[in-house]
Amino acid sequence: MSILSTLEGVSSTVFSNIFIQLPYPEGDLSGQTIIVSGSNQGLGFEASRHLLRLGVEKLIMAVRGLKKGESARQELLKSTDREESSVEVWQLDMDSYTSVKSFVSRAAALPRLDALLANAGLATNTFSVSEEDEKTITVNVVSTFLLIALLIPKLRESASKFNIIPRITIPNSALHYIASLEQLDPQNESGIFKSLNNKEATNMAGRYPLSKLLVLFGVRAFVNRLSQSQAPLVIINTPNPSFCKSQLVRETDSVGLRVGERLLARSTEEGSRALVHAIMADEKSNGQYLTNCRVHSPSCIVTNGKGVMIQEAFFEEMVTKLEKIAPGVTSCF
């Protein structure tokens, strides 16, 4: 990471949280079906409340624990005065590729699908492996793009049938500005994922920022591939809600982070406005990083020559990985 990139990320967050108030979501989502993962708490929960308030016909709460999901569902219904049928709770464990595939099989039977808010994420200081990769990478990156790739056919079907432009939103973070590139050597013959799974070489304090950098690479590469298809457009964007009070840091033991959250963080509700804005954004947001509800340039790590090389190498590896998990999944592009 460069000093300039770090300063840009820090100054952007401080300025945003002190001087910028995000616009309250407005619009009409009547008739639409939207999936929100990680929706039983935090940003996903507050975004779901806004979506219901804006009239979404069917909200699918994709959660790991059905009991907690049902409790959150009842709270959402009560606070929005919506009918019982407007919200369903489905199980989705982003730590399991089998769960992701089962969830998508169920979603294929929906009459229509307008949008996916892929909000579920993980931040941890503990190195552990799941589904052959370090857990943060599995949950925040591989499973997220597996979910997206598997849902693309359903979104395109809805686009053709209902004359809509479906949307996919993956929350990001200004922390991607401080991500280290040490384990992202595009010329490493062993590959990027193998490097990321090297426990001895991994600084877990920087793993969450790195996962968000990989999401940016993935979104940009995914949109580039999809743009070559003649199939209906599906908008994919990645907004930064900025530093918010949420459950994301529950597994961290940083006193500084917790103090900073108390002094500087946006409320969870205000942060969720950025996610709702992105899920309703137009074609100008396609493939873009958003901050304060506007398209914003990501770190130079993403856009410079080295970043382009890393993006290409990383995405090729991810395509291979996704094909191994679900053969044929990448035929969407």
Task: Indicate the SS3 state at residue 238.
Answer: strand
Strand segments (E) across 120-187 = 129-130, 133-134, 167-169
Contact between 143 and 322 under an 8 Å Cβ cutoff? The reply is no
H/E element, 21? none
Task: Indicate the SS3 state at residue 120.
Answer: coil
pLDDT at 12: 62
Q: What is the rounded distance in angstroms from the CA atom of residue 216 to the CA atom of residue 314?
A: 11
Task: Indicate the SS3 state at residue 286.
Answer: coil
Closest-CA residue to 319 (of 210, 107, 311): 311
Torsion of CA 129, 131, 136, 140, to 10 degrees: 180
Tokens of 247: 């459950």
Q: What is the rounded distance in angstroms from the CA atom of residue 274 to the CA atom of residue 281?
A: 10
pLDDT at 244: 72
Note the pTM of the prediction, 2 decimals. 0.91
| 24 counts as catalytic | no
Q: Which long-range contacts (CB under 8 A, 24 or more apart) does 258-262 make?
A: none
**Catalytic residue of the set 58, 154, 212, 321:** 212
Q: What is the rounded distance in angstroms from the CA atom of residue 256 to the CA atom of residue 272?
A: 23
Q: What is the DSSP letter of 29?
A: -
At 101, the amino acid letter reads K
What is the full per-residue pLDDT of the chain (333 aa) written as tens digits? Answer: 555 555 555 556 655 656 678 999 999 999 999 999 999 999 999 999 999 999 999 999 999 999 999 999 999 999 999 999 999 999 999 999 999 999 999 999 999 999 999 999 999 999 999 999 999 999 999 999 999 999 999 999 999 999 999 999 999 999 999 999 999 999 999 999 999 999 999 999 999 999 999 999 999 999 999 999 899 999 999 999 987 776 555 455 554 445 445 557 879 999 999 999 999 999 999 999 999 999 999 999 999 999 999 999 999 999 999 999 999 999 988
**Catalytic residue of the set 97, 177, 208, 289:** 208
Closest-CA residue to 63 (of 85, 84, 94, 42): 94
Torsion of CA 50, 51, 53, 59, to 10 degrees: -130
Contact between 314 and 192 under an 8 Å Cβ cutoff? The reply is yes
Residue with tokens 């137009």: 282
Q: Could you tell me whether strands 289-291 and 294-296 are parallel, antiparallel, or unpaired per DSSP bridges?
A: antiparallel
Residue 313 CB-half CA count within 13 A = 19
Q: What is the rounded distance in angstroms from the CA atom of residue 151 to the CA atom of residue 141?
A: 15
Residue with tokens 């200081």: 125
